[in-house]
Amino acid sequence: MIYLPGLVLALAVLWFALSGQTSPFFIGLGVVSVLLTLWLAGRLRIIDRNASPYYRLPQMLVYLGWLIVEVVKANIAVIARVLGPRHAIDPAVVRLRTRARTDLGKALFANSITLTPGTVTIDVQGDKVMVHALVREKASVASFEPMDRRASAAADSARRKG
């Protein structure tokens, strides 16, 4: 139960950020929804280190900064391909093996691929990820390795330490 205060704080902040309401009625609804969520999580016995978001925050913030830069670079590359004189689009599908071991790590990697323009995650099964890429030369396994390494480090690092 050591992770309960962090989970309460994260849920309350998320509720307030999504609702933005400050009237007593809505604050009361927020308290009820946070308490109900905590009760359900307790009944499911999922309040543990993985349910608590604050211990992996530094790694996630570093990864988010890196991902934003990659998304901007990919936007520029896709715009150049689409508006360029040759329209050099040559789609390909590639199957990757991810190093992520947790569901969070796999989801973070797959969603990061989909957020990056020119690539879409088609399927995730076990440690295999199928990706559709807009450009064949960018669809190599090696081109996704830095993202896989960083996503796995951000999501799975606490698991290795804890």
36-89: per-residue pLDDT in tens? 998 998 888 877 666 565 677 788 899 999 999 999 999 998 888 888 777 678
The pTM score is: 0.71
- pLDDT reading at 107 higher than 50: yes
The residue with greater pLDDT, 68 or 101, is: 68
- pLDDT reading at 161 higher than 50: no
What average pLDDT score do residues 6-12 get? 84
71-77 own/partner pairs: CB under 8 Å, 24+ apart: 71/115, 71/116, 71/117, 74/116, 74/117, 74/118, 74/119, 75/117, 77/117, 77/118, 77/135, 77/138
**109-136 per-position pLDDT tens digit:** 999 999 999 999 999 999 999 999 988 8
SS3 of 9-41? HHHHHHHHHHHCCCCHHHHHHHHHHHHHHHHHH
Share of the chain above pLDDT 90, in %: 50
